[in-house]
Structure 1
């Protein structure tokens, strides 16, 4: 990864954060909680950027359609998050496998 890749990555992340800040406050709160949850759980796909970008696209569509954020996610946001990554490997699973445990 070269310096240009790092700069481009930062540019993309700043644009992503600007999109989040443009959401209504209730959407921002739920998005940030989901992001925190995913960073904690550690799905491997998180680092390619598609998971968070996809959620942001989904939320922007909800705003456009005039829906509340909980209409999109349901009342149990953690269950919604779990459902999104149910088929994904997590870093915790990879770690367990590396030390000889089973996931």
Structure 2
């Protein structure tokens, strides 16, 4: 896009980020994906499966998600370098592993808001006050 001034370009970028989300988060995502492509095949397969799971159940905010995926790449790069077996990373229950991993990151605003709305509705339905007392 050819703009007449830096101000126009700035407005264009602000509009673009409003529609697509922060450009910085997208750059971080591309860097994460490039790092994952460098992993040995079995580690890459495990990360991609974990990534699919996290897309549904992980943090919803861009910055938190970006940090989480960067940490995931760090974990698997170190594990591959050390030769740590996949099962030693995940343990016997992969879901337990991922749920513990996700606990280190805040839940996205939308998910947090819906959880609070749900909890509040149940408290009202049960005739409880905000602090859980009857």
TM-score (norm 1): 0.75
Distance 1:17 1:35 in 2: 10
Distance 2:121 2:50 in 1: 28
Gapped runs of 5+ residues in structure 2?
1-12, 123-134
Residue 82 of structure 1 corresponds to: 99
What's the secondary structure of 1:13's corresponding residue?
Answer: helix
Displacement of 1:10 after TM fit?
A: 2.8
Gapped runs of 5+ residues in structure 1?
none
CA RMSD of aligned residues (A): 2.7
Report how many aligned residue pairs link the two structures: 101
Distance 2:112 2:121 in 1: 9
Distance 1:73 1:16 in 2: 20
Q: Is the 8 A contact 1:59 1:69 kept in 2?
A: no
Displacement of 1:22 after TM fit?
A: 0.7
Residue 57 of structure 1 corresponds to: 74
Displacement of 1:44 after TM fit?
A: 4.5
Tell which deviates more after alignment, 89-98 or 34-43.
89-98
Compare CA radii of gyration and give the structure with the larger one: 2
Q: Which residue of the other structure, out of 80, 83, 86, is the alignment partner of 1:69?
A: 86
TM-score (norm 2): 0.60
